[in-house]
Structure 1
Amino acid sequence: WTIAQVKAVAQAYGESAAMLLDGLDSGEPVGALAAKMQEAVFYVGDAEYRCLADIGERAHDVSGLEFVALREGSRWKVYPVESAPGGDYFVVEQILIRPRDAPESSPVIAIVDDDPLLTAEMCSYFHSHGYIARPYNTEATFRAALGENVFDGFIVDWLLETGTAEAIIQSIRQSRHGDAPILLLTGKLVTGEANEDEVARVIQQYDVKPFEKPAR
């Protein structure tokens, strides 16, 4: 709101502009407030919303509270008090809901690795951060998807069942996704199973960014 808009509303109701601002908090900038808030998931009935939550101290008494937070590992979950599952509750001071992007506008990441457990874990990580991630455990399934889907980025393991990922990386660069970032994963340089010279050549030739497994 501009100052002029605040004044106009106040005048329309015969009040002072200061009165409209008295109900606000101490004036902490929204950016500073958001910076101290925690990433969380807000559960309302069957719906789930990604949000930021200002989480306070442990709630030893939930009477009078409208919402509570529960910690599950490194994740926070926020519930209305009446529907919260049992657990160690924390006070929720504020909830900031961030509208979810339409699926077609969310970045789509293709993850190519012949280890299904690894691709599942990586997809879960990206989903929790607002991305769409799709796992491909064989070269054939990935190649079929490459021509039919829009991808914004790729994570490719260097050693696959069919050999190295050089042909796949070349196909990506020659496709309509040719300028998308490619992250190249390998955990076999130390063991000698991956040829360091080949990896270095592919990195330079196709502009890929390497990460050694295990990668955070």
Structure 2
Amino acid sequence: MSVKMEKLKTAVESVLGEKLVSAKIALDELTVECKAADTLAVMTALRDHDTLSFEQCIDVCGMDYSAYKDQPWDGLRFAVVYHLLSLKHNARIRVRIFAEDDSFPVVPSVVDIWSAANWFEREAFDLYGIVFDGHPDLRRLLTDYGFVGHPFRKDFPLSGHVEMRYDAAQQRVIYQPVTIEPREITPRIIREENYGG
């Protein structure tokens, strides 16, 4: 562990106080965890406090921990992970916030704190179904508006029963039943015939 990371951890613990659930250093990176209800206060403090100054949001992503490391998970299922950068102090931090309700995951939007989070939050909504309360335009970003489900959830089916195609006559994307037999594609290098003598 570097001295710089230890100092950053101490500074974060001092500034966030009881709003901090945990702070851990692993692989010379600091990861802090906070409750969803404290998101806006925590993020504002990380950005505005002079000893921290995390003025840039580099990335926001969703996580589904239901089958984390292929092990049973005992805890909340959905989390949002923020990667922040302090140009002033040349430091990075990872902030993880779990949604309190697994059946309808909601966390506050940080778009008013960092406008760069806008499309990242839309992506997490589209792929994981995490709702960002207060987001100015929360709608799908990568999948079609008629798409059902959230494809990065661990319980999303691997094969479907409908196919999507563009219909020139209707000038829109349409869904129709799959016209081919469903099959499981196994890469050639691990097929059984390659192991025969």
Instruction: Please classify the TM superposition score into its range, dividing by the shorter chain length.
Output: under 0.3
Q: Give TM-score scaled by structure 1 length.
A: 0.24
**Larger-Rg structure:** 1
Q: Give TM-score scaled by structure 2 length.
A: 0.25
Q: Which has the higher contact order (CA 8 A, sep 6+)?
A: 2
